[in-house]
Homo-oligomer: A and B are copies of this chain.
Amino acid sequence: TYLELCDRQKNTNVRLSLPAVCIVWQTAMIILFGVFIRYNEESSPRWVEYRKAKNISSDIENDFYFRYPSFQDVHVMIFVGFGFLMTFLKRYSFGAVGFNFLIAAFGLQWALLMQGWFHSLDYSDGKIKIGIENLINADFCVAGCLIAYGAVLGKVSPVQLMVLTLFGITLFAVEEYIILDLIHAKDAGGSMVIHTFGGYYGLSISWMLYRPNLDQSSRLQGSVYHSDVFAMIGTLFLWMFWPSFNSAITDHGDGQHRAAINTYLALAATVLTTVAVSSLFQKHGKLDMVHIQNSTLAGGVAVGTAAEFMLMPYGSLIVGFCCGIVSTLGYIYLTPFMEKYMKIQDTCGIHNLHAMPGVIGGIVGAITAAAASESVYGHEGLINTFDFEGEFKDMVPTRQGGHQAAGLCVAICFGVGGGIIVGCILRLPIWGDAADDNCFDDEAYWEVPDDEETFPQVPQYNNHMRNKDV
């Protein structure tokens, strides 16, 4: 069996393709950054002059101080949150946290360019001017691809992940431009733009890469005690910092403040209903770690769009309440159903954590926007919150609700359509992905240490047994 194992692993050799992709693409990034990317007026040494010209009284009004703490929280969610959430598999923790690291590091560079061309291009000199908000948006953009990674975790090679990310970021930037700028939908926490898109993108890819004999790896498709504890690190950092995620790019002042409160409340409610459903549908009422690790986060996804609106504290709780139930039931019934009847193998259950709650979030956002009124928001408050300015000066809340719904449809279409196309590309037999009986195994792409020495007792038994054999 050792020789067989070696044979099988041969096709996962990425010794040329992975370094080539990394070096070439990173070189391309350097060139494109050289041509296009510059500091904006708040991160350039000319800030001193700019400040005086704009009559800004203090350095503390630099956008850096409004957004940097939220940025760092988002950054933690991307690298530790998503990375550790996926470490739950008993023998794929290196791949979970390591490939998450790799594709996020590449993705954020490509996102700065793609989003920059759409949103931060200075037409006077053809350069993209970046500041702290661009870094946050790049991290957001990456989140879409990391969500997609959750669906194919353990079944694809790092080279495939790089391709998934390249196309994912590109599609993201386009759909984001359509939804936010052309359709003028609002999506502070990205329920539509990030979660719905990322979820369906990943699920469609997973559908295209369906492996009928994946049960050959079933011995590795579960957790062990400590890998579940590692995953809780990811869960908790996602859960705790989600208020920062949803408020990171909202309006200064009340916008950030309200988004944080709404998210905080929605997430709290989700925990209770997740626990309730997990216990109720399990033998002997025992809780399932899969639900605690994932469904507790669904409320944060679902208040993403409406977080900056007047969702009201009780509204946030209701959204969280429903999402905990829907998401946990999804893990219990929908994931097995989708695998059996729809040929969608969703390793982390992103359909329950991102896709469904994302759609719910889009709908909640549309309703909340349509229900907005000057009596609740105040005259100026309404205009500020929904950006009823410039060409959208004559927009009214009810119509905004329609635009929100349109935005949701665009996100779904881009996710499904993009996922199918990228899935086709990833089916080509050139990417070094593992065989069906070699999935979920770090041995394929990592030098894995031998664990024998950890447990001093075991070798003793071993010796003991050897002696007996003699």
Interface of chain A residues 224 through 275 with chain B (CB within 8 A): 224-226, 228-230, 232-233, 236-237, 239-241, 243-244, 252-254, 256-258, 260-261, 264-265, 267-273, 275
Contact residue among B10, B93, B109 (Cβ-Cβ distance under 8 Å from A269): B109
**Complex: how many Å from CA A455 to CA B34?**
49
Q: Sort A-B residue pairs by CB-CB distance and give the 10 closest, nearest first.
A: A15-B285, A45-B381, A47-B254, A105-B271, A59-B253, A22-B276, A34-B314, A19-B276, A59-B252, A43-B257
A7-29 to B contact mask, C-beta < 8 Å, 1/0: 00110111110111011011101
24 sampled A-B residue pairs with Cβ under 8 A: A15-B284, A26-B269, A38-B313, A48-B378, A51-B253, A57-B57, A58-B61, A68-B69, A68-B256, A72-B240, A79-B236, A80-B233, A83-B236, A90-B454, A98-B289, A105-B296, A109-B265, A109-B269, A224-B451, A225-B451, A285-B445, A288-B447, A457-B462, A461-B465
Interface of chain A residues 58 through 110 with chain B (CB within 8 A): 58-66, 68-70, 72-73, 75-76, 79-80, 83-84, 87, 90-91, 93-94, 97-98, 101-102, 105-106, 108-109
Check A279/B48 contact, CB under 8 A, given A76-B240, A258-B43, A288-B447. Answer: no
Chain B's closest residue to A253 (CB) is: B59
- When distances are taken between beta carbons in the complex, the residues of chain B under 8 Å from A446 are 286-289
- When distances are taken between beta carbons in the complex, the residues of chain B under 8 Å from A58 are 57-58, 60-61
- When distances are taken between beta carbons in the complex, the residues of chain B under 8 Å from A26 are 269, 272-273, 276, 317, 321
A5: min CB distance to chain B, Å: 11
Given contacts A109-B265, A158-B275, 7 further A-B contacts (CB under 8 A): A18-B279, A45-B381, A45-B384, A47-B257, A105-B296, A451-B454, A464-B465
Whether A80 and B286, one on each chain, are in contact in the complex, defined by CB atoms closer than 8 angstroms, is: no
A327: min CB distance to chain B, Å: 15
Check A59/B48 contact, CB under 8 A, given A38-B313, A94-B229. Answer: no
Whether B377 and A45, one on each chain, are in contact in the complex, defined by CB atoms closer than 8 angstroms, is: yes
Chain B's closest residue to A75 (CB) is: B240
Whether A296 and B59, one on each chain, are in contact in the complex, defined by CB atoms closer than 8 angstroms, is: no
Chain B CB within 8 A of A430 CB: no
Whether A87 and B229, one on each chain, are in contact in the complex, defined by CB atoms closer than 8 angstroms, is: yes
A23-55 to B contact mask, C-beta < 8 Å, 1/0: 101110111011001110011111111010000
Chain B's closest residue to A449 (CB) is: B223
Chain A: interface secondary structure?
helix
A306: min CB distance to chain B, Å: 13
**Complex: how many Å from CA A226 to CA B49?**
52
Chain B CB within 8 A of A393 CB: no
Whether B233 and A64, one on each chain, are in contact in the complex, defined by CB atoms closer than 8 angstroms, is: no
Chain B CB within 8 A of A280 CB: yes
Chain B CB within 8 A of A135 CB: yes
Whether B457 and A43, one on each chain, are in contact in the complex, defined by CB atoms closer than 8 angstroms, is: no
Q: Which residue, A15, A237, A253, A261, has most C-beta atoms of chain B within 10 A? A: A253
Whether A260 and B447, one on each chain, are in contact in the complex, defined by CB atoms closer than 8 angstroms, is: no
- When distances are taken between beta carbons in the complex, the residues of chain B under 8 Å from A453 are 90, 219-220, 222, 224
Q: Which residue, A258, A267, A465, has most C-beta atoms of chain B within 10 A? A: A258
Chain B's closest residue to A29 (CB) is: B317
Whether B272 and A102, one on each chain, are in contact in the complex, defined by CB atoms closer than 8 angstroms, is: yes
Q: Which residue, A42, A158, A228, has most C-beta atoms of chain B within 10 A? A: A228
A334: min CB distance to chain B, Å: 19
Chain B CB within 8 A of A282 CB: yes
Chain B's closest residue to A310 (CB) is: B45
Chain B CB within 8 A of A174 CB: no
- When distances are taken between beta carbons in the complex, the residues of chain B under 8 Å from A280 are 15-16, 19
Whether A64 and B25, one on each chain, are in contact in the complex, defined by CB atoms closer than 8 angstroms, is: no
**Complex: how many Å from CA A73 to CA B282?**
35
- When distances are taken between beta carbons in the complex, the residues of chain B under 8 Å from A68 are 69-70, 256, 260
- When distances are taken between beta carbons in the complex, the residues of chain B under 8 Å from A452 are 457
Check A454/B224 contact, CB under 8 A, given A72-B241, A313-B130. Answer: yes
Chain B's closest residue to A26 (CB) is: B272
Chain B CB within 8 A of A277 CB: yes
